[in-house]
């Protein structure tokens, strides 16, 4: 069986994701679809709107055959580390292809840019450092360095979010010498961060979340029936859909009870930033207000949200160092599977060089401890006894079977 790999968040699963799966299977002629999905906290430093278990159900009910978790240590990182972790898992699972959505929709420019930057690596790295020294953010430095190096030659627009991620998937495949062929599908209708509904059937996850949280507009035409049902059941059972404001009191408490040294040891806190964090948390009236006070030209909103996530979970620089220099995942956490997914796993299981975890009690690793801690933090906003019940799900929930 040929396995297609996807790197996803499904926050929540919508019609655009269904289109991506359908077109990717056609393009790659795959038999089985494997999704590496972020857990309860996501790449932009946000809590997922519903838990990873509910999002796994959405995926399995909409065409995915195997869902595995991208560990917290990779899922809440910049694009390069995020991509390396995801690609390493897909390679370990013997995927023959990886297909990502992009603004461009053609794979050859991604391959060309990867080769170009390998050849110009020293100059590229030097230009990035120069731009960072001038006070701009890391993503802006990458974009500016690339534009200078390419002399504005028509290649690939690396200022667009999906193009950036796609480039890093291609780069990770090359870096790891993975036996994976990259493909890309053009994103349709809605932009990645589109805030409003601009199409009759396709909307961005951002606009869908906004509609869900505000209760102002229906989303039924933008999501599969399974997604709509799962979202409704989750809100009914747990009393909310997750967003950052729910966690602000926990974030504030964590910051106020940490010493400057403890705060500086948190992952992604740079020298001097701990003072800015402590000063602004005193005056902020909510998470949005805190972020607006904290943001500068040098630190992007996304970077600061990730930092807040690491503070909330008390994730230290030392704990993140267990990622290792190769930035490859040391395990595969199984979240769910269809019958076809189970059959595929059975065919490759003896060839796997990375352990597959279906029960937490069978494996130990510092990065897995981070996953467990992140899950507990995610559930801390619930009242008792619901909080204790949800915290047990991390250990008690077996892989979902559809």
> What pLDDT does residue 190 have?
46
pLDDT digits (tens, 9 = 90+) for 194-216: 556 667 899 999 999 999 999 88
Domain that holds residue 132: 108-159
Return the pLDDT at 196.
Answer: 60
Within this chain, do residues 144 and 19 fall inside the same structural domain, yes or no?
no
Residue 38 in this model has a pLDDT that exceeds 50:
yes
Residues making up the annotated binding site for ATP are: 7-20, 101, 162, 187
In-domain check, residue 201? no
Instruction: Please check whether residues 261 and 359 belong to one and the same domain.
Output: no
Residues 67 and 186 in one domain: yes
Residue 227: inside a domain: no
Residue 152 confidence class, pLDDT cut points 50, 70, 90:
low
Rg (the chain; Cα; Å): 21
pLDDT band, very low/low/confident/very high, at 153 (cuts 50, 70, 90): low
Both 83 and 186 in one domain: the answer is yes
Same domain, 68 and 140: no
Binding residues: 7-20, 101, 162, 187
pLDDT surpasses 50 at 390: yes
> Which residues, listed in sequence order, are joined to residue 266 by a DSSP beta bridge?
316
Q: What is the pLDDT of residues 44-79, one digit of tens each?
A: 999 999 999 999 999 999 999 999 999 999 999 999
Average pLDDT taken over every residue of the chain: 93
What pLDDT, on the 0 to 100 scale, is given for residue 157?
85
385 shares a domain with 331: yes
Are residues 188 and 79 located together in one domain of the fold?
A: yes
Q: What's the rounded mean pLDDT across residues 333-358? A: 96
Same domain, 24 and 92: yes
311 and 389 belong to one structural domain: no
Tell me the CATH number at 69. 3.40.50.620
| Percent of the chain whose pLDDT exceeds 70 | 97
The residue from 301, 321, 341 where one domain ends is 321
Q: Are residues 7 and 51 in the same domain?
A: yes
Q: What pLDDT was estimated at residue 89?
A: 98
Give the pLDDT confidence score for residue 194 in this predicted structure: 57
**Within-domain flag for 388:** yes
Q: Is residue 275 part of a domain?
A: yes
Enter the pTM of the model. Answer: 0.93
Asked whether residue 105 carries a pLDDT value surpassing 70, the answer given is yes
Q: Is residue 333 part of a domain?
A: yes
Q: Does residue 204 fall inside a structural domain?
A: no
Quote the number of domains for the chain.
Answer: 3
Q: Is 86 in the same domain as 189?
A: yes
Domain end residue (candidates: 321, 352, 375):
321
More confident call, 306 vs 131: 306
């Amino acid at each position: 069986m040929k396995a297609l790999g996807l790197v996803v968040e499904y926050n929540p699963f919508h019609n655009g994701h269904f289109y991506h799966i359908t077109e990717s299977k056609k393009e790659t002629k795959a038999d089985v679809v494997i999704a590496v999905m972020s857990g309860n906290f996501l790449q932009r430093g946000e809590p997922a709107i519903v838990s990873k278990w509910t999002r796994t159900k959405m995926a399995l009910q909409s065409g995915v055959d195997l869902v595995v978790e991208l560990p917290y240590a990779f899922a809440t990182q910049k694009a390069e580390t995020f991509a390396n972790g995801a690609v390493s898992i897909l390679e370990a699972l013997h995927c023959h292809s990886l297909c990502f959505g992009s603004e461009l929709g053609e794979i050859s420019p991604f391959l060309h840019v990867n080769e170009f930057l390998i050849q110009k690596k020293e100059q590229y790295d030097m230009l990035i450092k120069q731009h960072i020294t001038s006070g701009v953010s890391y993503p802006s430095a990458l974009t500016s360095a690339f534009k200078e190096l390419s002399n504005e030659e028509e290649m690939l627009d690396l200022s667009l979010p999906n193009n950036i991620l796609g480039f890093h998937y291609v780069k990770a495949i090359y870096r790891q010498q993975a036996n994976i062929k990259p493909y890309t599908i053009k994103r349709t209708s809605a932009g990645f961060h589109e805030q409003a509904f601009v199409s009759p059937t396709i909307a961005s996850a951002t606009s869908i979340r906004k509609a869900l949280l505000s209760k102002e507009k229906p989303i039924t035409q933008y999501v599969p029936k399974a997604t709509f049902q799962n979202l409704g059941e989750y809100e009914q059972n747990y009393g909310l859909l997750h967003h950052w404001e729910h966690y602000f009191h926990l974030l504030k408490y964590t910051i106020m009870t940490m010493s400057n040294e403890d705060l500086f040891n948190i992952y992604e806190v740079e020298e001097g930033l701990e003072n800015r964090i402590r000063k602004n948390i005193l005056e902020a009236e909510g998470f949005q207000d805190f972020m607006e006070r904290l943001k500068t030209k040098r630190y992007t909103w996304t970077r600061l949200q990730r930092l807040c996530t690491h503070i909330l979970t008390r994730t230290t620089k030392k704990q993140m160092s267990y990622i290792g220099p190769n930035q490859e995942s040391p395990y595969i956490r199984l979240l769910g599977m269809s019958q076809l997914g189970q059959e595929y796993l059975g065919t490759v299981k003896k060839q796997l060089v990375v352990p597959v975890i279906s029960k937490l009690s069978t494996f130990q690793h510092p990065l897995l401890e981070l996953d467990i801690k992140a899950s507990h933090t995610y559930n801390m906003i619930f009242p008792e006894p619901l909080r204790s019940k949800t915290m047990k799900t991390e250990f008690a929930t077996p892989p979902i079977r559809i």
